[in-house]
Amino acid sequence: MAAILWLDESQVAAICTEATASGGIAQVANDNCPGQIVISGDKPGMEKTMEALGKAGARKVVPLAVSIAAHSPLMQPAADKLQATIEATPIQSPQVPVIANTSVTPLTNAAEIRAELTAQLTGSVRWTASMQWAVAQGVTRFIEIGPGEVLSGLMKRIERGAERTTVNTPESLQAFMASIAAA
Q: Are 135 and 115 in contact (CB under 8 A)?
A: no
Closest CA to 56 of 20, 18, 1, 2: 18
**Amino acid present at 152:** S
Cβ-count burial of 171 within 10 angstroms (0-12 exposed, 13-18 middle, 19+ buried)?
exposed
* Residues 128, 156: Cα–Cα separation, whole Å: 11
Confidence (pTM): 0.92
Closest CA to 16 of 51, 60, 64, 59: 51
Fold of 2-63: Alpha-Beta Plaits (3.30.70)
Is the domain covering 73-182 a CATH 3.10.180.10 domain?
no
* Residues 38, 31: Cα–Cα separation, whole Å: 7
Ranges of beta strands (E only) in the chain are: 2-5, 26-33, 36-41, 60-63, 98-99, 106-107, 141-145, 163-167
The most distant pair of C-alpha atoms in the chain lies apart, rounded to whole Å, by 60
* Residues 157, 159: Cα–Cα separation, whole Å: 6
Spans of all domains in the chain? 2-63, 73-182
- Averages of pLDDT over runs of 10 residues in the chain (183 residues) are 97 98 97 98 98 98 97 97 96 95 97 96 98 97 95 97 96 94 91
- pLDDT for position 183: 84
- pLDDT for position 109: 97
* Residues 84, 117: Cα–Cα separation, whole Å: 12
